[in-house]
Amino acid sequence: PSTPLTELWFNALHGRLQRAWRSSEETILQSDKYPFYWQEILRDIFVPASRMESSRIRKSLQAHNPPQEDLWSVEPASAVIGSPLSESHIFILNNAIYGEELEDLTREQILGGPAVLSQVLRLALGLPHPKRK
């Protein structure tokens, strides 16, 4: 999080989502599918952004794909995930594996929760930790 690559990637993805929303808001609202295929995001955003930042990327891309049990833990993310949390270039969260378990939760429930997944998403989005009652 908060590297030139992730900021470029996030801004490019956000811009693309904004354009898609403006051009087909009604279609997006009526569909239960994502507006883009993962291949489009890789081809049109991630690969070009990686090339632009190639001098800053190590020879091998440092990716981390945490197991679901780590993401469901309510311990501090830094304790569960360790150094990959800050050292990875890309952090893989696989909706195909655990998306069904999350589909009935609201954005607020997911982002406001104590689980490592919630902590990682808040960190990636630059959101503050929720205030506990």
Q: What tokens does 66 get?
A: 């945490």
- Neighbour-count burial of 115, counting CB atoms closer than 10 A to its CB (0-12 exposed, 13-18 middle, 19+ buried): middle
Going by pLDDT thresholds of 50, 70 and 90, the confidence category of residue 133 is: low
To the nearest whole percent, how much of the chain has pLDDT over 90?
23
Strands 90-91 and 63-64: parallel
To the nearest whole percent, how much of the chain has pLDDT over 70?
93
Residue scoring higher pLDDT (61 or 9): 9
**CB atoms inside a 10 Å sphere around CB 91:** 19
What's the chain's average pLDDT? 83
Q: pLDDT per residue over 54-109, tens digit each?
A: 777 666 677 888 999 999 999 999 999 999 888 887 888 877 778 788 889 998 99
Classify the phi-psi angles of 58: left when phi > 0, otherwise alpha if psi is within -120 to 50, otherwise beta: beta
